[in-house]
Amino acid sequence: MSELSSALANLEEEKVARIIKQELGTGKDSMGVLTELRKGMDEVGQRYKKGEYFLSELIVSGEIFKDAMKVLEPTLKKDGGGPATKVVIGTVKGDIHNIGKDIVATLLKGVGFEVYDLGIDVPVKAFVDKVVETKATIVGMSGLLTPSFESMKETVDALKEAGLRNKVKVIIGGGVVTELVQRHTGADAFTDDAMEGVEIIKKWSAKSN
């Protein structure tokens, strides 16, 4: 692992900022820098899986990554980059909890997905419209309360009615989500763990590419 990847994995904020500045200053291409950052984020995920890191480390790494992207983004546009798997994500209609959804969105961006974050209290139609517009192949719905289950189900049904259900994989997430809820809503997967959600989405993406 490079020095930059290690610094991110070790949550060394200042060191990450310093190395990025140095590398861009010496002409390193920004796509290469981004690749190193993503390796660092992957390592954070590995440490979480092993029980060495917790939610707080995921959030801190996400913040470091976001700060790094602010520096990199203007130059990335010039360099371009390969096509990424598109994910539409949001907290479902009626539910205004954002923290879990935000963490997953940041982590997905960190490992290279193109994320369309619709925010909180997202109407059923907004999910469907975004999938049509972006041709996303993955939909992530978040909800922290039992009444959210109906909103999740309505969204899955609406994707079906729009003829999109066989074109997208749907994952639901939140503290009270269980297998029973997955069956009720018709989603393809469920999770109550942000990093597990990212892993499921990574597997789906790997299969489809």
What contacts 186, CB < 8 A, 6 or more positions away? 153, 156, 157, 160, 170
Q: How far is CA 121 from the centre of its chain?
A: 18
- For another protein, the closer of residues 55 and 76 by Cβ is 55
Alpha-carbon torsion (181, 62, 91, 118), positive or negative: negative
Phi-psi region of 6 (alpha: psi -120 to 50; beta: other; left: phi over 0): alpha
Q: State in angstroms the smallest separation of the CB of 198 from another protein.
A: 16
Amino acid letter, 36: E
Q: Does 149 bind another protein (CB under 8 A)?
A: yes
Q: Could you say whether residue 99 binds another protein (CB under 8 A)?
A: yes
Q: Residue 46, interface with another protein (CB under 8 A)?
A: no
The reply to whether 17 sits near another protein by the rule CB under 8 A is: no
Number of residues that bind another protein (CB under 8 A): 30
Q: Which is nearer to another protein, 12 or 29 (CB)?
A: 12
- Least distance in angstroms from the C-beta of 22 to another protein: 22
Tokens of 16: 């990450």
Site for another protein in 58-97 (CB under 8 A): 59-60, 63, 93-97
Using CB under 8 A, which of 3, 13, 188, 196 touches another protein? 13
What is the spatial distance between Cα 160 and Cα 208, in angstroms, rounded to a whole number? 20
Angle at 141 between CA 135 and CA 142, to 5 degrees: 150
132 makes contact with another protein (CB under 8 A)? no
Q: Which residues bind another protein (CB under 8 A)?
A: 11, 13, 53-57, 59-60, 63, 93-97, 99, 102, 121, 145-147, 149, 175-178, 180-181, 184, 192
